[in-house]
Amino acid sequence: MNICIVGATGNVGRKILDVLDKKNFSINQLYLVASKKSAGKKILFKKKEYIVSTLEDFDFSKCDITFFSAGGEIAEKFAEKAAAHSTVIDNSSFFRMDPDVPLIVPQVNSNDLKNIKKNIIANANCSTIQMVIALKPLHEIFKIKRIVVSTYQSVSGAGKGPMDELIDQTRLFLDNKKINSKNFTKQIAFNAIPHIDLFSNDGYTKEEMKMINETKKILDKNINVTATCVRVPVMVSHAESVNVEFEKEFTLEKVINLLINAEGCKVINEQVDGGYATQVEAEGKDETFISRIRQDNTNDKAINLWIVSDNLLRGAALNAVEIAEAYIKTRQ
């Protein structure tokens, strides 16, 4: 299998390399591609040094699978060109709502890989991925009617620049110096910003609409979803407070048992100090962690959950590689 990674020098591109290495993914030839600015850089993979090629000049006919991890503008310009020769797995939002492009979380809807029309597969939003992995087994048994989610998203979801800025702002704050935000609409150090991506006319942000629309496409178009997305001063991993209303009767014991046995999930749900997962513990882990599982005391058909996952790994790179694995299986 010949593999190409577009955006190989970025946060997610490097994580994809880590996942391919960890999984011992079968690779005949590996091609690392990035912008002219990064071309010529050397990246070590499995004790071999690879030189990063320029995207504009790259020949995609050499590749079987191409991972795109360079943002929506690059995907818009180059993904279909690549898809003429290679199956594209795109991490940006550009193709997610295209009716001819499957939007895949393998633990949830891998059957949709049978309906590839453009030779492009979309990877879902990081916050959507961890939520639908947790909710899929519950929806199968109890049928979800409504989801209310508030996210607490780390700065790594916005890229390396915002990660560096959080460190810089923290230093300035502790030194009692003036802070001027570059990558955020407000100070991010020691703060929470209820605004990710652009606002639409109805008051929702683009990030919130991604969660709403993607959940419907991946899980069930009939589920009602509302979201509030918040950026928090955490380096890696996203957390979510999720209220789920079911159509069918349930018991909390059965909910917990379903989650314990669900693929990709790990339940940490003890009613003691520290008996729950946080963003710090989730970093570098493959699992989606689920805690604070409890009955909604205002609605006997609803529960509350706390869901945490590494946004760069489970929410991007790992899901992309698992899409590739699932796709290969459908072709065998």
Scan for tokens 């001819």, then name that residue: 100
Catalytic, out of 126, 139, 229, 265: 126
Nearest alpha carbon to residue 184 among 172, 192, 176: 192
Catalytic, out of 4, 63, 139, 238: 238
The answer to whether 206 and 229 are in contact (CB under 8 A) is no
Query: Left (φ > 0), alpha (ψ -120 to 50) or beta: where does 34 sit?
Result: beta
Q: Is 126 a catalytic residue?
A: yes
Show the tokens assigned to 46.
């499995």
> Is 11 strand, coil or helix?
helix
Q: Is 195 a catalytic residue?
A: no
Is the four-CA dihedral 90, 96, 101, 106 of positive or negative sign? positive
CA dihedral 125→80→118→223, nearest 10 degrees, is 20
CA dihedral 169→228→126→86, nearest 10 degrees, is -110
**In the 3-class helix/strand/coil scheme, how is 174-241 assigned residue by residue?**
HCCCCCCCCCCCCCCCCCCECCCCCECCCCCEHHHHHHHHHHHHHCCCCCEEEEEEEECCCCCCEEEE
State the catalytic residues.
126, 238
